[in-house]
Amino acid sequence: MVIHCRLRAAALLVEWMVASPVYATAPPVGNPQIPTSEVDSRKSSVSPRPNPDAAGIYHAGDGVTEPKLISSVVPEFSDKARKRKLSGSIILQLVVAVDGHVEKVQVIKSAADNFTSKKDRAAAHTLDQKAIDAVSQYRFQPGIFEGKPVPTETPVKMNFQMF
């Protein structure tokens, strides 16, 4: 999923990643479409994850459908990042509960990872929190396994870009 938004002097790009590490762009609402050849070429290098895992969380594939985004919130560009004119990508891992709400959001790749300056890193970390705040408000149709909704883990990528 990709969402393009203008935030004063900034833009935001959100991609819903599927079948880690494969991800694709798609309309803001609905299920991402991935060319079959791209999925097939990467399947061999990705080992399947157990369904459910030890924590009772499911993973797309192997009979589990991906959650489908039905409502999203555009994150704000932080004042610190805007003042320093920073751009960056953030990868979040979240669990979509059986009722479609988001649970257990964590940063997998921080916007600060690409900066060496202490001030830039501190400002970039503020984008991480803005991304967490936004995805925590997303709503999904939950992942389905054997006809029933199941808690499903899914990654989300956000790109904050200054113009």
* Tokens found for residue 72: 């999203």
pLDDT above 50 for 62: yes
CATH of the domain at 150: 3.30.2420.10
Inter-residue contact 123 to 83 (CB < 8 Å): yes
Q: Which domain holds residue 21?
A: 2-44+67-162
The answer as to whether 52 is a domain residue is no
Q: How far apart are CA 154 and CA 92, in angstroms?
A: 9
Q: How far apart are CA 32 and CA 11, in angstroms?
A: 21
Query: How many domains, in total, are found in the chain?
Result: 1
Q: What is the tens place of the pLDDT at every residue in 104-155?
A: 999 999 999 999 999 999 999 999 999 999 999 999 999 999 999 999 999 9
pLDDT above 70 for 71: yes
Inter-residue contact 13 to 6 (CB < 8 Å): no
Listed in order, strand segments (DSSP E) in 85-133 are 88-96, 102-109
Measure Cα distances from 45 to 39, 89, 145 in Å. 11, 24, 24
In this structure, what are the phi and psi dihedrals at residue 122, rounded to the nearest 5 degrees?
-65, -45
Determine if the pTM surpasses 0.95: no
Look at residue 54 in the predicted model and tell me its pLDDT: 87
